[in-house]
Chains A and B, each alone.
Chain A
Amino acid sequence: MANKLEIRHLSQQYGEVRALDDVSFTLEPGVTGLLGANGAGKSTLMKLMTDHMKRTSGEILWNGTDILKMGKKWRELVGYTPQLPGLYDDFSAKRFLYYMGALKGMKKKDIREQTDQMLAAVNLSDCAHRKIGTFSGGMRQRVLLASSLLGRPQVLILDEPTAGLDPEERIRIRNDIADLARDRIVLLATHVVSDIACIAQNVLLIRKGKAIAFDTPLRLLENAEGKIGEFTGTYDEIRSLQKQYPNGEIAQHKDGFVLRVAEDPLPEGCVPVRDSITLEDVCHLYLKGDRTYG
């Protein structure tokens, strides 16, 4: 039977602010993309899933058992990459992975073996003995990703693992994650929609602490049909139209300027897009107007 991680009616309150509001969904092996604006509640959700803070209400069940009851056993199953690259500058990449291996309770032999494998997987073998303080943002991110993979965890919680990576590295990491997700649950939070567009089995959209959509990318794309459209005109016309649709995206085509909008229903004069709807458009549709999105 496949592993299952159920989130049931999860809520989190910070004083007056409700960071998560009755969120429910179920994760199964494969990549689940978590999309939302800054402050939407993504990191709070991840903190609750890694048992980093006390939840206000709700349940997180691993194969039917609450993770709070599992304690250490749950943390043994989880690999986590935090949003901020929290790494010790004085450690070398290898030493850091050894340390993380020890913290994960791995055997010394396994630590040595897996460290070499993970460093190779994230293309850091050549820099294994360099101090992390000398690493670029992308390299630090890769060290964190390698550390989360140590011990071959059943659940991978990755908070913006591709932030700061160059396009080539991003594709590499994205493919690695897709490979890893074959037999484990991966929750991948990101701002970059293209990171999950091709690898996610499911997408969870969070807005102001609420889960507003949880579905496969295909179904989300289908739902968006007829709600994505384009205005075409001169630059000045498009600029004045954008005042009405501030989340609309301007692009320059060979026949003029285009303003792509996501509205339900589409405004008058806007030509619906049929074949080229992307997950980006879906996000615009669901998350538009949300603070700092896009």
Chain B
Amino acid sequence: MAELRRLLLSPKQLVILLMLTVINLALFASNCRSIQENLTEYRKVQWEEGIDSAAAEKKEAAAYLKTGYAEYLQYVQEQSKKQGLLGKLSEKNSFITRNLEKTAKDYAKLEGIKLTQGQNRGLLAVSTYTVTDFLLLIAPLLLAIELAHESETAIGALARTTKNGHLALCIRRIAAIALLSAASVLCMYCGNMLYARRFFGSAGLHRMLQSVPEFQLCSMRITIGGYYFATAIIKCIAVTATALFLWIILSRFYKILSWLIAAPVLILHYLTGRLVMPTSSFNHLRYLNVFSALHTSMFFKEYCNLNWFGHASGFFADMLIFLILTLLILTGLSLYLIGHCHPVRIGQKLEQLKEQIEKRMAKHMPAYSVFGFEGWKLLIPQHVLLIAAVFSILGVFLWNDMFLYAPSVDTQKFYERYSGEITQAKIERIARQVIGETNRLNVEKRNYQRNIEQGHYQDAAWNDEQITICNFYLERYETMMDEMISLAKYKKKTGNEAWFLDDDTYEKVFNENAAEERCCLVLLLFLILAFYASGAFDNRYDTRMLLRSTKNGRAGILTSQIIWCAILTAIAVTALHGIFLLRVSGDIGFPMMEAPAQSIPAFRDLPFSVSLRTCIIVLMCLRFLAAMVISGAVMVISRFSKTPQRALMVSMVLLILPTALSQSGILPVRFLDFAHFLSCCKR
């Protein structure tokens, strides 16, 4: 128990778990908001095209529940019979025949299941969100790395000399990894479920899983509650197995060789799970895969029978057997190799080779200035270069994930014609246009209404749709005219210029935007990870006193560190917001950048005259300053922390925790949202 308590209830472990939970929650919450916003945006665009997508979806869902699923089951049986006949003609005992028989048998069991309507969006959000699956791995893998490292230290040697220092200790450590995996799943995956329930509404745990069209292929009689439970257990086993694998490798091999084995094995295993197609002859590699098990939902969204020497076997059962066997084998190996055998490691030659290479490289090492050395310290031993590379990749994924909808062609034409400086003549022209359009649409609307009343058209729904479109255009023209009049009044009242323009793009830049805030959370994370070790690195090695005794060891070091911090922060801010601006300007464009800032609602109250272009430049500068404030805060925390680990934890607790809580809506204290602070946007 003491070992379990030491490993699981240490403040460090608890903070790691807490931070991962909160970060996961913030990311998931942001993802849910993005889903909601994208849906709204999509519906808006569809609406502009005259399509009521919400009604269409409802109709589709109702049709699926009423007849769609039953038809699908019937189709499976029919196909099976048809194909079966063909199969019997060719080869009676072939995999194809057996597969068809099994498929028909599996789906026959589902005849008559009761499907009910409910809120599916939460379940879909949880089942498709794979970031959590990777976050689940972090705490157990860190524990595995820590345990492997500990065995190299004096504590490890001391522990092995004690009575219970071999097998008994190993059993407890395996239990600790398993418990930590379970805790991670409980905190993060179950956290997602609860948040999705809160955000989208209850999915109805008692409903059959097949009630959700995306799970139509599932051949198990299982409720949504059962699905959640099963996936949590499977994820837990998969995480434990991965952590045990890493622990064994790191404990039995020297550092380089261990990572040369572990990293390719894990990456290849992951890639085979992702890249092998379900229809491939080697689909065993896809489904008998720990990472596939970790992304458990595929086993409920797909249907497949694996070919075992001509016999068809259900992929879910096979995956379960594979997973349990893997776990048992890895547990056995851990007990034998770590608990029983002597702690001998393999691969020392590679370490020596690395040392030789480092020596050769060091021979050509230049004598840097203090600034150069501080940069080197930050980039190489403090791993900022590596962190930056990882975040660059992450950034690319994030931006690819961002949806931007350009306004409809009609709207664009209207703005092209009338946007710009507001003059009396223009107002009158627009007013005439709007009144003309309004009258035309009113006439059209009346015609449609008359058509409905007189029953001229068979399909009443079509008429309804046309009326909806008319209403929409009317509303839009009225809004535009109101905006014009309000701008004219504003000009008269304040004397400030305010142009009529499409402010949609500017709203995306200056106002709250889910995608952008998520990227600011990434920026916040980057700044913390980049600078958490800046001061604590010296404290950890107790070099502070020695450095301070030198001529440039005080202001020289500090100035260099601040300059490096500014350079890296500027690069990060430019990369993040610059790409955003480029994407927005590429996809939608920034119209009328020379227009006065007061032209957009966000700057209506600005007391001085300035163009929108200047506003964007100022905003970028403010964002840089905000990022510098955060970087500075992290550097101060680091300076007063004894170790980098402690600095990281304190920074996470002080900066990420309130941000994540605020973003997920748990803590409604907006001023503690540091990601929002970094975005410098008006909320």
Binding site for B on A (CB under 8 A): 47, 50-52, 72, 75-76, 78, 80-82, 84-92, 94-95, 98-105, 108, 111-112, 115, 128-131, 134, 144, 147, 157
Q: Which of B5-13, B147-155, B551-559 contacts A (4 or more CB under 8 A)?
A: B551-559
B373 near A90 with CB under 8 A, answer: no
A123 to B381, CA, bound (A): 26
CA distance A47 to B545 in the complex (A): 8
Measured in the bound complex, the distance between the Cα atoms of B553 and A103 in whole Å is 6
What 0/1 pattern do residues 556 to 571 of B give for CB contact below 8 A with A? 1100000000000000
Which residue of B has the minimal Cβ distance to A47?
Answer: B545
In the complex, whether B606 has a CB less than 8 A from a CB of chain A is no
A50 touches which of B368, B380, B381, B549 (Cβ 8 Å): B549
Contact assessment for A99 and B551 in the assembled complex, using a CB-CB cutoff below 8 Å: no
- Taken together as a complex, chains A and B put the C-alpha atoms of A88 and B553 apart, in Å, by 15
Q: How far is the CA of A99 from the CA of B367 in the complex (A)?
A: 8
Asked whether B365 is an interface residue with its Cβ less than 8 Å from the other chain, the reply is yes
CB pair A103–B365 under 8 Å, yes or no, is: no
A52 to chain B, nearest CB (A): 6
- Bound CA–CA A187/B358 (angstroms): 37
Q: Are B365 and A94 in contact (CB under 8 A)?
A: yes
A75 partner residues in chain B, CB cutoff 8 A: 549-551, 553
Residue from the set A98, A102, A157 with the largest chain B CB neighbour count within 10 Å = A102
* Interface contact A131-B358, CB-CB below 8 Å: yes
A-B contact pairs, 5 of them (CB 8 A): A47-B545, A76-B551, A90-B380, A103-B552, A103-B557
Q: Is the CB of A86 within 8 A of B367?
A: no
Interchain nearest-CB distance for A266 vs B (Å): 43
Q: Give chain A nearest CB distance to B203 CB in angstroms.
A: 51
Other-chain residue from B368, B373, B545 in contact with A86 (beta carbon distance below 8 A): B545
Whether B373 and A129, one on each chain, are in contact in the complex, defined by CB atoms closer than 8 angstroms, is no
Q: Which of B117-125, B415-423, B536-544 contacts A (4 or more CB under 8 A)?
A: B536-544
Does B458 sit at the interface, judged by CB under 8 A? no
Min CB gap B432→A, angstroms: 75
- Is B367 in contact with A101, judged by CB distance below 8 angstroms? yes
Q: Which residues of B contact A51 (CB under 8 A)?
A: 548-549
CB of B545 within 8 A of CB of A82, answer yes
CA distance A92 to B381 in the complex (A): 12
Q: Judging by beta carbons under 8 Å apart, are A99 and B373 in contact?
A: yes
Interchain residue pairs A-B with the least CB separation, the first 5: A86-B542, A80-B549, A129-B362, A129-B359, A103-B550
In the assembled complex, the CB of A8 is this many whole angstroms from the nearest CB of chain B, namely 21
How many residues of B are in contact with the other chain, CB < 8 A? Answer: 32
Q: Which B-chain residue is minimally distant from A73 (CB atoms)?
A: B551
Taking a contact as CB atoms closer than 8 A, the residue among A47, A50, A94, A104 that contacts B362 in the complex is A94
How many angstroms between the C-alpha atoms of A103 and B363 in the bound complex? 21
Interface contact B542-A52, CB-CB below 8 Å = no
Instruction: Please encode chain B, from 293 to 322, with 1 for each CB lying within 8 Å of some chain A CB and 0 for all others.
Output: 000000000000000000000000000000
In the complex the two chains form, is B552's CB within 8 Å of A105's CB?
yes
Q: Is B355 an interface residue (CB 8 A)?
A: yes
Q: CA of A234 to CA of B377 in the docked complex: distance in angstroms?
A: 62
List A contacts of B424 (CB < 8 A).
none
A residues in contact with B76, CB < 8 Å: none
Q: Are A88 and B551 in contact (CB under 8 A)?
A: no
Question: A80 vs B360: C-alpha distance in the bound complex, in angstroms?
Answer: 30
Judged by a CB distance under 8 angstroms, whether B370 is at the interface is: yes
Could you mark each residue 368-384 of chain B with 1 if its beta carbon is under 8 Å from any beta carbon of chain A, else 0? 11101100010011000
- Looking at chain A's contact residues, is the secondary structure mostly helix, strand, loop, or mixed? mixed
Bound complex: CA A163 to CA B6 (Å): 34
A112 CA / B543 CA spacing, docked (Å): 22
Nearest CB of B to A104, in Å: 5
Cβ B546 vs Cβ A144 within 8 A: yes
Contact of B367 with A52 in the complex, beta carbons under 8 Å: no
Contacts of A84 in B (CB 8 A): 542
Give A285 Cβ to nearest chain B Cβ, in Å.
32
Question: By CB atoms of chain A within 10 A, which of B363, B369, B550 has the most?
Answer: B550
Residues of A within 8 A of B386 (CB): none
- Are B546's CB and A147's CB within 8 A? yes
Note all chain B residues with C-beta closer than 8 A to A47.
545
Q: Closest residue to B359 on the A side, CB-wise?
A: A129
Closest Cβ neighbor of A102 among chain B residues: B370
A24, chain B: closest CB distance, angstroms: 23
Q: In the docked arrangement, what's the CA distance between A130 and B362, Å?
A: 9
Given A72-B551, A94-B362, do A88 and B543 touch, yes or no (CB 8 Å)?
A: yes
Is B328 on the interface with A (CB-CB < 8 A)?
A: no
Q: Is the CB of A103 within 8 A of B359?
A: no
A87 to B544 Cα, complex, angstroms = 10
Closest CB of chain A to B368's CB: distance in Å?
Answer: 6
Please judge, given known A-B contacts A88-B541, A103-B556, A104-B550, whether A130 and B359 are in contact too, CB under 8 Å: yes
- Report the Cα distance A82→B547, complex, angstroms: 10
Contact partners of A92 in chain B: CB under 8 A: 358-359, 362, 365
Contact across chains for A102 and B373 when beta carbons are under 8 A apart: yes
Which residues of A are found within 8 Å of B381, using beta-carbon distances?
88, 90-91
Q: In the assembled complex, which residues on chain A have CB atoms less than 8 Å from the CB atom of B553?
A: 75, 103
In the complex, which residues of chain A have a beta carbon less than 8 angstroms from the beta carbon of B355?
130-131, 134
Residues of A contacting B547 in the complex (Cβ-Cβ under 8 angstroms): 103
Contact across chains for A52 and B549 when beta carbons are under 8 A apart? yes
A110 — nearest CB in chain B belongs to which residue? B367
Q: Which residue of B lies closest to A103 (CB)?
A: B550
Closest Cβ neighbor of A115 among chain B residues: B367
- Chain B 26-60 near chain A by CB (<8 Å), digits 1 or 0: 00000000000000000000000000000000000
Enumerate chain B residues within 8 angstroms of A98, measured Cβ to Cβ: 365, 367-368, 373
Residue of B nearest to A88 (CB): B541
Residue in chain A with minimal CB distance to B552: A103
Given known A86-B544, A98-B365, A103-B557, contact A129–B549 (CB-CB < 8 A)? no
Closest Cβ neighbor of B363 among chain A residues: A129
Measured CA separation A50–B365 after assembly (Å): 30
Chain A residue with the shortest CB-CB distance to B356: A129
Give bound CA distance, A103 to B554, whole Å: 9
Q: Are A78 and B546 interface neighbours, CB within 8 A?
A: no
Check if B541 sits within 8 Å of A86, measured CB to CB. Answer: yes
Residues of B within 8 A of A100 (CB): 546, 550
Given contact pairs A72-B552, A130-B359, A131-B358, enumerate 16 new A-B contacts (beta carbons under 8 Å).
Answer: A51-B548, A76-B551, A82-B542, A85-B542, A87-B541, A92-B362, A94-B365, A98-B373, A102-B372, A103-B370, A103-B547, A103-B553, A103-B557, A104-B551, A104-B552, A112-B367
| Bound Cα distance A90, B537 (Å) | 11
Q: A residues within 8 A CB of B537?
A: 88
A44 to chain B, nearest CB (A): 12
Known: A76-B551, A102-B369. A52 touches B358 (CB 8 A): no
CB <8 Å contact, B546 and A82: yes
In chain B, positions 556-608 with a C-beta closer than 8 Å to chain A are 556-557
- Rounded to whole angstroms, the CA-CA distance of A25 and B134 in the bound complex is 64
Most buried by A among B362, B370, B544, B556: B362
Q: Which chain B residues border A157 with CB–CB below 8 Å?
A: 549
Separation in Å of the B67 CB from the closest CB of chain A? 67
Tell me, in angstroms, the Cα distance from A94 to B373 when the chains sit together: 13
Q: How many Å lie between the Cα of A76 and that of B553 in the bound state?
A: 10
Q: B351: nearest residue on chain A (CB-CB)?
A: A134
Using CB atoms, name the residue of chain A closest to B381. Answer: A90
**By CB atoms of chain A within 10 A, which of B355, B360, B380 has the most?**
B355
Min CB distance, A180 to chain B, in Å?
Answer: 17
Contact status B362-A86, CB under 8 Å: no
The distance in angstroms between the C-alpha atoms of A84 and B355, with both chains bound, is 26
- Residues in A whose Cβ lies below 8 Å from that of B377: 88
Contacts of B548 in A (CB 8 A): 50-52
Partner among B541, B544, B545, B551 whose Cβ is within 8 Å of the Cβ of A103: B551
Residues of B within 8 A of A88 (CB): 377, 381, 537, 541, 543
Inter-chain contacts of A131 with B (CB < 8 A): 355, 358
Q: How far is the CB of A123 from chain B (nearest CB, A)?
A: 18
A105 CA to B369 CA in the complex, in Å?
9
- Max chain B Cβ within 10 angstroms of own Cβ: one of A89, A98, A99: A99
CA of A88 to CA of B367, assembled, Å:
17
Q: Give chain A residues whose Cβ lies under 8 Å from the Cβ of B546.
A: 80-82, 86, 100, 144, 147
